[in-house]
Structure 1
Amino acid sequence: MLPLQRWRQARQRALLARVALDLVQTGRAAHLPSTEPEPHLLRAALFWREWGAICTRHLGVIALVVLIGVGEVQAHWSRWLLNPAPDLVHATQPPSPQTGSAIAGAMLRYVALTQEVADPLVPAVSQPLAVTDAFRTRHLLAEGETLGDLAERYGVSLATLVWANGLERGDALMLGQPLRIPRVSGVVYVVRPGDDVATLADRMAVAPEAILTFGPNHLDTSQDLVSGTEIFVPGGELPLDANLLARLAQRGAEPVGVLQVDEANLRQGPGTEYDRQIKLERGRQVALRARHEDWLKVEIADTLGWIRADLLRINADLVAALPETNDFPPPPPRWVWPARGRLTSPFGPRWGGFHNGIDIANRAWTPIVAARAGVVREAGWCRGYGYCVKIRHPGGVETIYGHLVAQPDVAAGDEVAVGQYLGGMGSTYDRAGGGYSTGVHLHFTILVNGRAVNPLSLLP
């Protein structure tokens, strides 16, 4: 191709490019070629004209999007500069003249920000917090709250609260009682002699690492468990009676008395003649239900019984508010030995006659007690016996205590409890009444409907 032709074609292309630029900028072509362009160049010009029209129609929208984007970037940058993150404050303090300029401080903030949000799809990796205590708080039990409510509120199992606070024995809860709330469900366990991590883990259905790696336990693989120390087993479980759990879920604060003596007897009725149900240790908490004279009807571990009020540490106002009741069974026929000593003469034939009781010998003034609860029918000098006591019991039963050393400590008409002191052992007798004694002893007789029976068949 001749140089002149190449020059003309190049000039046409330049004119078409100018036309396309005019179309984009103004929507019309200010420079048109004077000669007919080549077909492919004409198609290019038409394409640029259509594209320019589209850009013209949507130029406002495009400008608005660009403006919003620029504004958002600037606003985010300003907010970050004015309110640095708390954990970055140490890196964003204005530098002193000795350490740098304000620009250097801004660069520190920028570096920290870009490191923090460099990839929002990748979760941040942080050092786990060191847990030093197995319990998040101590909750003071308020009126109307139940253990079930607290388990739901703090997101732990009911059994966890039971084990954490020693409630598996069924003790009552008092208003304001502090309850330990573990961070997670599990078992609070006091190490016993011979315990080891592997055995406990197997017993509570967890991996040994759950015990070893729990921070508050302060254990490592080289340490043995120390007897008497308390550990927490995250996720651990121990068997608990389902009925007990159901009752504890509904249990809240109620009037409570605290045992202040060891081995207090919980009896079936308000008196020592009633049979003992269970023994309670010092510190146990019993729920108060009713009262009768000096005795209180209480409940613990789903067991109802009676206990003397003076054995409990209790608020006097709570006792006064309890209902008085007579709803209890009569005392059972309970017997105790009337004295300590040696059996010297049995019941039955003796010296050509009949001995209607037993003789128990010991030193003078050895205590003599009522073998069963009842009402004193006679007390003082008795025909044949010397000083004696006769007690009438329910069911047509009567007991006789003869040869006391002196006037008895009870009088006719007195109510006596089983085991109550009557007087001292002696050797008095009424010769005129046919009595006789060869030494210090107690003559003890039991009559059933007026007929003597062998005391050994009734005494324990």
Structure 2
Amino acid sequence: MIHKLTSSSSPVPETPVREVSSHLGVTYWLSWIPAVLMVAWLGYVALLKVGVVEAARTNLDRQVELAKVLPANAQSEAQLPELAFTQPVSVSRVTELDTLVPSRPRTEPQKYVVQAGDSVFSIAKQFNLKPETVLWANYNLLNDNPNMLSIGQELLIPAVDGVLYEPKPGEAIEDVAKKFKATPEDIISWPANKIDVADPKLVAGQTIMIPNGQREMRSWVVPTI
């Protein structure tokens, strides 16, 4: 018995051609976006460069036109307006015969000639000193006696209060300071004494100043008229 064979297999489904084609189209156009953006960027940069070049050309053209307008001498040297005065101007300076010398502390003794009406006290006040300082500095003339002052005498006026002293041979600074109730530093540091700080020694016969020094006082009797 012969059986007739019939195909019982199910039909093969058709491929969705339209969906695949649509998907490929979208992908295709998306792949062009970076290229389009790159072209747009390059175009923008090119436009910027063109603008800069045009601005430079415009500036150069303006400079050329300005150079043509200005005269030749104005290009090399600027011309200033002439200075005109409505009235003569001058600076006058008055000649001063006396030159102002800045005052500095005095360190050397100075000489003073006694005038009529002077006294030891008025002379000391004039130089801002104590009367005994004037007497001690002029012992050879006044002998510690203010009444021995006379017109025409040449006195020695110290710079500060103290004693003018002439050291004896072999006398040390410490001995002189002790004798006049002062300190060795006062004697050494006084500029007019010119004592070497590294090797302080006294020179016999050289008059030195003993700042703030003092010796025995005598009683003064001022006569009254």
TM superposition score category, shorter chain reference = 0.3 to 0.5
Greater helix content: 2
Q: Which structure is larger by alpha-carbon Rg, 1 or 2?
A: 2
TM-score by length of 1: 0.24
Which structure's relative contact order is higher, taking Cα pairs within 8 Å and 6+ residues apart? 2
Greater strand content: 1
TM-score by length of 2: 0.47
